[in-house]
Amino acid sequence: MFGVVRNRPAYLAVATALIALVVSCVSTGAPKLSDSSVRRIAEGEATKNEVSSLLGKPEQILILDKKSLEYYIAGLATRNPPDLTFPEGHYEVWTYSRWSHIASLVFFPSYETAKLCMLIINSDGICLKKLYVEESHMEF
């Protein structure tokens, strides 16, 4: 017992070194959101029920008319806005996102991914358009 007390600084040094090598991982958002699941959504064919079974419940649902929808999309895509036009009517915009961050305190870079999916669904419950973006960032 007394030997453990005398070597306390050595144990603290080893514990600190191990903690420095520990990798932390944080993820938040829609767990089912992935490139492969979004590819399975057929524009003009997929129903709201099919989308829900593939991606789960959306994080956000907006109800917009044609003009509001076009303004909303133009406001989101500031670099390369998609050239989208829609017939008169009301639409649901379903939004999904997923963010992951992996980091280590020492020796390894941190890595971050962000995914965003926006689905435009008409009043008949059909997904007319899907917009999907995935970005990754590595930092030393």
Q: Which residue has the higher pLDDT, 9 or 94?
A: 94
CA distance 3 to 129: 69
> Which two structure tokens, joined as six digits, stand for 27?
């993820």
Q: Is the pLDDT confidence value at 1 over 50? A: no
Helix (H) or strand (E) holding 3: helix 2-6
pTM: 0.73
- Whether 33 has a pLDDT exceeding 90, the answer reads yes
Which regions of 30-105 does DSSP assign to beta strands (E)? 60-65, 90-104
Q: Is 89 left (phi over 0), alpha (psi -120 to 50) or beta?
A: left
> Could you report the per-residue pLDDT of 74-128, keeping only the tens digit for each?
887 666 666 778 889 999 999 999 998 877 655 666 768 899 999 999 999 999 9
Instruction: Give the per-residue pLDDT at 73.
Output: 86
Per the CB < 8 A criterion, the answer to whether 23 and 109 are in contact is: no
